[in-house]
A and B are shown apart, each in its own frame.
Chain A
Amino acid sequence: MSEFLPASVQSFLPSIIQLVYLVATGIFIFGIKRLGSPATARSGNQLAALGMLIGVIATLFDQQIVSFEFIIAGVVVGSAIGAVAAKKVEMTSMPEMVAIFNGFGGGASALVAWGEFTRISDPYLFSNQDLITIGLSILIGSITFTGSFIAFGKLKGFISGNPVTFPGQNIVNALLTIGTLGLIGWLAVEPTSVLAFWLLFGIALLLGIFTVMPIGGADMPVVISLLNSYSGIAAAMAGFVINNNLLIISGALVGAAGLILTNIMCKAMNRTLGNVLFGAFGGESSGAGPATDTDKTVRETTPEDVALQCAYANKVIIVPGYGLAVAQAQHVLKEVADKLEKRGVEVKYGIHPVAGRMPGHMNVLLAEADVPYDQLYDMEQINPEFKSTDVVLIIGANDVVNPVAKTEPGSPIYGMPVMNVDEADRTIIFKRSLSPGFAGIDNPLFYSESNQMFFGDAKDSLQSLSHALKDLD
């Protein structure tokens, strides 16, 4: 678009573009900062979007860009797909959506590098450094692409949530990783070797699949966060390939932010990143720790009984988990909570940092159901309160309330901070069956004297509870 500008402006254009890029970067930083607080988060997101728009417009004035057919077509198609997907998606499927968007971002970075590699007809025009960044961009971008799709599949249930492993998998993955680095080296020395290029592309795509497949569904949030970080790094690499500062800086920003978020999530589960990635955690094979001697009888309950217990309680704490999200039961839950509050029962929500499939997932869901923000409590805030609580309703949550994490050093989740629901007078677990949760670990709470099981789909159960509460009036 530069030809529309007067010649005097054109000569300054590269510097102007760089300046605008700087402004856009500043807006990104400011936007992310505002995303950090509930009151300003929305404007932060809009600000970041504005920064992106400014960056894109500035780029269109780049003198290298002379043909717009492909650009317009691409933007139209991409916007349409992205907008429809973003509008249609259920709040409960948010983690999958983020995973798949992220996969596209990573894929785009790989394509940028591929396009740039193809465009230059004489590969010897590339410096060694260029070729290495092209290789890295393709490697990281492709891993993000396929890895995100596997994560999406696992969350959606297309692919088994259990770790899929084969003997020596970690060794194979390690060899493949070394192999890709070797291929990048080969490409840097011998830029005409098309074979090296395609091998690199293929193995990188494969690597994304292989590294995510062995990870259990419960760890997907961490994986998505990590892949998010990768897509940032891939963007930064693509920035080096085409020599674009805005890309390098923003990519690094997202890369760092993703890594820190990943780290925070790992800490919440008391695991190391290495353990998440290579531990193949969360299958039947992981065992349940030492067998317990407690008698394995469960006490099943009825909606009427639960209604009575809650209606005459002083304090009820609700602990939601992924089951709530799957059943889309957040609105019915709010209905039940309202009825209890009308009766003078104190209702609070206790949210484990990794409840659901993403940190903050439950908060988003409950916010959708109009649950007041000040009724939601973090684990640290709510844990001392269980002692003085009459009834705890555990809805579709399991591992985050498993006392094994406190008592059985042999258990895979030992040491993970959990909700101290066992300290309450009564716990009622809403669950479809006795099956262990995503982590595949049996929960002794099911068989505890103070616990009752309310079997069924969370939404149906809550609906019958809501009716039972009405009948009490």
Chain B
Amino acid sequence: MLASFVGFELISKVPPTLHTPLMSGANAISGITIIGALVVAGQVGDEFAQIIGFLAIVFATINVVGGFMVTDRMLEMFKKKDKKDE
């Protein structure tokens, strides 16, 4: 609940220019589910569960690594702009 409220506070002021990077950045954070994947893949006992966990890690890592890198690439271009203006 609190987190939702904080989320609302954070987003409601963002200019449209940054919606794409923001969406992509928030998307990367949703890859936080990697932590759940770690817990499932890291416990011994059921081999099949570990394989599912492995798949979950692959999926989540794609989300996290790809998401943050792509966002960084986008934002890098805004940055370049700022330097030139100075």
Contacts and interface: CB of A to CB of B under 8 A. Distances in A.
Given A102-B27, A108-B34, A111-B52, A360 B40 contact: no
A256 B44 CA distance: 35
A146 interface: no
A35 B18 CA distance: 8
Nearest to B40: A115
Interface in B26-58: 26-46, 48-58
A85 interface: yes
A373 B85 contact: yes
B37 to A, nearest CB: 5
A259 B70 CA distance: 22
Given A91-B74, A101-B62, A64 B43 contact: yes
Main secondary structure on chain B at its contact with chain A?
helix
Contacts of A373: 78, 81-82, 85
Contacts of A112: 33, 36-37, 39-40, 53, 56
B75 A42 contact: yes
Given A251-B32, A361-B20, A111 B7 contact: no
Interface residues of B, number: 81
A65 B43 contact: yes
A9 B30 CA distance: 31
A87 B62 CA distance: 13
Given A45-B72, A56-B38, A82 B62 contact: yes
Nearest to B10: A32
Given A83-B69, A102-B30, A359-B16, A249 B40 contact: no
B29 A28 contact: yes
A75 B70 contact: no
A111 B70 CA distance: 24
Contacts of B46: 118-119, 121
Contact of A39 (B60, B66, B82): B82
A231 interface: yes
A28 B31 CA distance: 12
A437 interface: no
A357 to B, nearest CB: 10
A94 B80 CA distance: 19
A119 B29 CA distance: 26
Contacts of A246: 32, 35
Contact of A56 (B35, B44, B54, B68): B35
Contacts, number: 384
Q: Which of A249, A257, A265 gathers the greatest number of chain B CB atoms within 10 Å?
A: A257
Contact of B23 (A46, A52, A66, A261): A261
Nearest to A99: B27
B74 A364 contact: yes
B48 A86 contact: no
Nearest to B56: A111
A254 interface: yes
Contact of B27 (A98, A114, A234): A98
B67 to A, nearest CB: 5
A353 interface: yes
Contacts of A116: 36, 40, 49
Contacts of A174: none
A64 B24 CA distance: 32
Given A98-B27, A261-B23, A38 B18 contact: yes
Closest 7 CB pairs of A and B: A78-B61, A74-B57, A256-B7, A65-B42, A82-B66, A82-B65, A111-B56
16 contacts: A39-B82, A52-B31, A67-B44, A71-B38, A82-B66, A86-B70, A118-B46, A118-B48, A118-B49, A231-B30, A260-B11, A360-B16, A363-B20, A367-B78, A367-B81, A374-B85
Given A56-B38, A104-B66, 5 more contacts: A82-B65, A108-B37, A235-B33, A261-B11, A367-B81
